[in-house]
Every structure is written in structure tokens, then in C-alpha cells.
A and B are shown apart, each in its own frame.
Chain A
Amino acid sequence: MSGRAIFVFLLATSSIVLPQDASAQNAAKPKLSASAIQIAMVEAGDVQIPAEFRYAVYERLVERVRTSGKFQKVYRTGDHAADGVPDLVVLHTKVDTFKEGSQTKRELVTVLGATKVDITASVTARDGRSLMDQQITGRVRFFGENLGVTNDLAKRITKLVRENF
């Protein structure tokens, strides 16, 4: 068998194997279901993060999860109306690291001054069972003010929730 024939054979085999692998992954990960979700306030732990960042992430999450249309009801933290919902899931977010950059540096030098926030996003059921747990990083690299990182984070977390539900 010539080298070219081997190459063509390997290419054909990989194209058959890859889609099967992807479909196996999808099959192994069944979608979760819940009629309502409660967004918990962003926990800072020991990380020094300005309050406006925590509240902005929280507010943008509420807004984006609502517009995603994945849940019939989206409750805020502390909402008494969520108390009686049987299949309620709770979205928790905890800040792992926070680095505040500078808009001026970003726009002048491009490679400097990025704002970065690492967050662990998790979804728990009413009985405390963990349904989803993942680390997500939000960044503002080029243009926009530092608070723009909250929009990037909320977008990524909502995407993760959409993929799991």
C-alpha cells in the first residue's frame, strides 16, 4: 500500500470515528430539567472584589437567564415566591480570582490592562445535590470599561446553563 493510500485510509477512518465519539458524548450527558431557577447572589469569599462587580454579575445573570427562555420562572435570591416551587434549582456563583485592569491601558497598549474574573458556577437541586459545577473566566481585553467583564461572565454562565438544561 502506498503512503498516499494509507493517508487517505486514515483520514476516512478518523472522519467515521469522530462523529461517533461526539454523539457518544452527547448521549452520555442527558439534559437536566427544571421549571424554575433561582439566581443566588455572587459570593466573594475572601476575594477583594468591589460590590458593583458582584451586583452587576447578579443582575446581568437574572436578565440573561430570563431572556434565554429555558425556565418558566426565574427567581432572584430572597424571593419568597420561590419557596413553594418543588423542582426549583439554584444557580450559585463564587468568585475565585479578580484582577481589575485599566481601560486606558487596554486602549493604548492593547496587550496590557485586561480585567479578569474567575468564577465557579454551580447549579444545585432543592435537596442540595450538585447538578452542574464548572469554572468560568470573564475578561475585558480591548475596549470598554472594567464593568464590561460582568457582561462577558453572565453571557458565558448563561450559555453553560442553556447547554445543560
Chain B
Amino acid sequence: MKTEEALKTIIATLITLAGSGLVLAQTAPTTAANQKKVRYIIGLDNMKADSSGQLTFQDGALRFTTGKGESKVPVSSIDDIFIGAETTQSGGKTGRVMKTAAMAAPFESGKALTILMRTKVDILTVAFHDPDGAVHGAIFALPKGQGDPLRTQLIQAGAHSSPPANEVSEKSKP
């Protein structure tokens, strides 16, 4: 009998551990998915244009964080959200330096880099107003496919937005 009880305890412990492991495994990607590494283009006060940072949705606000500071937009002040698309150059600043260097390559062979280093991005435009009623438009470049889930998340949290048919801009031209 004692052996059976011990066996039951061990199995219960194992099930509990496995279960908690599963829960943890499921939670970890959700947190990671909530944090998006983006390129900020323009529209936020006290943020340097063309800087990279994390775009998160926390405590009823859209937050953009870089190593130097944070800027947040309360969901209640969002008037519209638009998702567009653009084909741009990958690799960030390093990519730009590489392409500039490649321009010196013979027979314009450096142009091959243009084809190799292109990437599609979602352009997220968040139109919002400040406490004085002044209109702002914050623009971010997100990895392709990450714009729509974030938009949905913001709308579910109470942000205003136009109907989807009007908001998708013309598809990007590669």
C-alpha cells in the first residue's frame, strides 16, 4: 500500500511539474511577443527620429522605450491607427554603411546588395491628441506582420480606429 501511495505522490508531483513547465513555456513567448523591436520614424516628443527601441503595450498605454528614455501614448487618447507597408533596406545603420562602401565596387556590382538587403516592413501610424487637443501622429516601422496584431490589441483596449478597409494603404512596391 505504502509503495502505491509513494508512486501516486511521485506521479502527482511529476504531473504538477510538467504542467507548470507547460504554463511557463506558454507564458514566456507571450511576454516576448508583447515586446516588439521597432524603428521609430517620427511623431513623439523628446525622442530622436530614426531610433530603434521596444514598442510595448502596458498599463493602458503604448510605450516606446530606448536606452535613453521612454515615451508613452495613453490608449484613451488614440484617435486612429493605420497600417501601411514599405519595402526598405535591412541591416539598419550597419546596412547603410555597407551599401555606401559597396558603391565603390567595380562594374556597379555593389548594386547587388540592394537586392539582397531589401526587407518589407509594416508602417504603424498612431494618430493621437495631447491634453490640449493638439493632433500628433507617431510613426513606427515594425517587422512585417506585427502591425495588425498590435492594432487589434490597441483597439481591444479601447483605442479608436477607422474601419479596416480604409486603413490599409496601397501594397508596397518592391
Contacts and interface: CB of A to CB of B under 8 A. Distances in A.
A108 B114 contact: yes
Contacts of B170: 48, 50, 100
Contact of A80 (B87, B125, B132, B169): B132
A50 B133 CA distance: 23
Contacts, number: 85
A108 B111 contact: yes
Please report whether the interface of chain B is mostly helix, strand, loop or mixed according to DSSP.
Answer: strand
B86 A108 contact: no
Given A51-B84, A51-B125, A107-B114, A41 B135 contact: yes
Nearest to A76: B134
Contact of B43 (A55, A101, A146): A55
Contact of B139 (A41, A56, A103): A56
A120 interface: no
B167 A51 contact: yes
B66 interface: no
Interface of B: 41-43, 80, 82, 84, 86-89, 111, 114-115, 118, 123, 125, 127, 129, 132-137, 139, 167, 169-170, 173-174
Contacts of A79: 132-134
B41 A56 contact: yes
A145 interface: yes
Contacts of B41: 56, 147
Interface in A49-78: 50-52, 54-56, 58-60, 63, 75-78
Nearest to B44: A59
Nearest to A48: B170
A81 interface: yes
A83 B82 CA distance: 29
A52 B125 contact: yes
A66 to B, nearest CB: 11
A75 B134 contact: yes
Interface centre among B80, B82, B111, B123 (most CB of A within 10 A): B123
B66 to A, nearest CB: 18
Query: What size tier do the contact residues of chain A reach?
Result: 20 to 34
Contact of A59 (B89, B133, B136): B136
Given A51-B167, A55-B137, A104-B87, A78 B129 contact: yes
Given A50-B170, A77-B135, A103-B118, 4 more contacts: A63-B42, A78-B134, A105-B173, A147-B123
Contacts of A80: 132-133
Contacts of A146: 86
16 contacts: A50-B84, A51-B127, A52-B169, A58-B135, A78-B133, A78-B135, A79-B133, A100-B170, A101-B173, A103-B88, A103-B89, A104-B115, A104-B118, A108-B114, A145-B86, A145-B88
A82 B174 CA distance: 43
Interface centre among B41, B134, B167 (most CB of A within 10 A): B134
Contacts of B173: 100-102, 105
Nearest to A146: B86
A72 B43 CA distance: 21
B46 to A, nearest CB: 12
